[in-house]
Amino acid sequence: MAATIKDVAAAAGVGIATVSRVFSGAGAVSAATRERVLAAARDLDYRPSAVGRSLKTRRTGGLGLAVPDVTDPFCAELVAGVLDCARTLGQHVLLDATRGDPAREAEIADRFAEQRVDGVIALPSGTGDPWAGFVRTGVPLVYVGRPPSARSGRRRSGTGGAASGALSGAASGAASGAVPGEVPAVLADDAAGIRSAAEYLVGLGHRRIGFLGAPAPGAPPDAREDAFRAALAALGVPVEEDLVARARPTRDSAYAAAAGLLQRRSDLTAVLASGNLSGEAAVLVARELDLRVPADLSIAMVDDVAWAELCDPPLTAVARPGRDIGYRACELAARDTGRRAPSGPVLLPTDLIVRGSCAPIPSRRERARH
């Protein structure tokens, strides 16, 4: 028969309330008493009742984790980081995929609220704010990757050469002013990553640079588009609206955007893809159009996924610390609700990994020769 809390109390020579305080972590217990209780529990192979604990705390325990696509390389790294942290904290994780659908995302938020999880980590779909209702439950919520776009309040500039904010403002945070104060966020410093990639391409002589994978029509610009516009403006390079290709976060949409961009603008010399789906699409379409990389077209992208190094040539990429983002977000989501969350987004650095997919712009004579 399984040992009970009464058995542990009797073996340790303490009251039931003392045993409860030891396992709940609530209340003062001396180190000697704590060790005596834990030793008795080990001897009796006692396991605290999760059901009993949930009845008392009105929480089922565990952390909710919602990402768009568990097969996406960045999401996979993020999930791994969350699981690593949760394991060290003795937490289990409930994982679900939103598929980039705000309606499905809202359903997942409601389900997590009904299941009374201890905290939630969410990579928002980028459209609307499906988590607005969940915030009111008071359960810790942490955004990762990006904040919900609906809260940003930004509008796309109608002029190609003007950036929506100063470069210094874009660099100060991937979502400066976009993350609601009551909801913490752990983000990669996408603004700095995009800026470094844009500066690198301009330094190679490129002026007609396409930006692939901007938010879909009707959605406000995100941190990456803002940073791209700000970086080119600071370098004196005009942003042509026709070179900004918009797409939803799906392979089909990314492919259509890449095909449209490369077919209507044969004069562009470089593409900066806002994510690995857009980068994959750029590589595929360039191959289908017999464009040589980097002789005819330089390609760089955000997200240094495993296949980027295996491409021919290997792709230049902005590396984002997905695993570290997940780990830090888990620490915040599992925090005691009495502890204050960070006042602003936690920004983790990005790195530009230079490989063979980018080259100096070819001269007219070299282009004529081919």
At 220, the pLDDT band (50, 70, 90 cuts) reads confident
CA distance linking residue 97 with residue 247, whole number of Å: 20
Mean pLDDT value across the chain: 84
270: part of which helix (H) or strand (E)?
strand 270-273
Which residues have a Cβ under 8 Å from the Cβ of 244 and sit 6 or more positions away? 210, 211, 214, 225
Question: pLDDT tens for residues 306-316?
Answer: 999 999 999 99
Q: Nearest Cα to 346, choosing from 330, 334, 366, 363?
A: 330
Q: Which two tokens stand for residue 233?
A: 């403006």
At 337, the pLDDT band (50, 70, 90 cuts) reads low
pLDDT at 156 over 50: no
Domains assigned to the chain: 5-48 (no CATH), 63-153+323-343 (3.40.50.2300), 188-321+350-369 (3.40.50.2300)
pLDDT at 221 over 80: no
What does the buried/exposed string (b/e) look like for 168-198 if buried means 16 or more CB atoms within 10 Å of the residue's CB? Answer: ebbbbbbbbebbbeebbbbbbbbbbbbbbbb
Indicate the range of 133-137, 153-157, 188-192, 360-364 predicted with least confidence: 153-157
367 compared with 177, residue with greater pLDDT: 367
Q: Nearest Cα to 284, choosing from 323, 257, 305, 245?
A: 257
Question: pLDDT tens for residues 24-38?
Answer: 666 788 889 989 998
pLDDT at 166 over 50: no
pTM of this structure: 0.75
CA distance linking residue 30 with residue 35, whole number of Å: 9
Residue range 361-368: mean pLDDT, rounded: 58
Which residues have a Cβ under 8 Å from the Cβ of 274 and sit 6 or more positions away? 194, 211, 212, 213, 214, 222, 224, 225, 301, 302
Q: Which one-letter amino acid corresponds to residue 59?
A: R
Residue range 283-293: mean pLDDT, rounded: 97
At 350, the pLDDT band (50, 70, 90 cuts) reads very high
- Report pLDDT for 165: 36
- Report pLDDT for 46: 83
pLDDT at 169 over 80: no
Contact assessment for residue 122 and residue 142, using Cβ atoms and an 8 Å cutoff? yes
Q: Nearest Cα to 262, choosing from 239, 291, 237?
A: 291
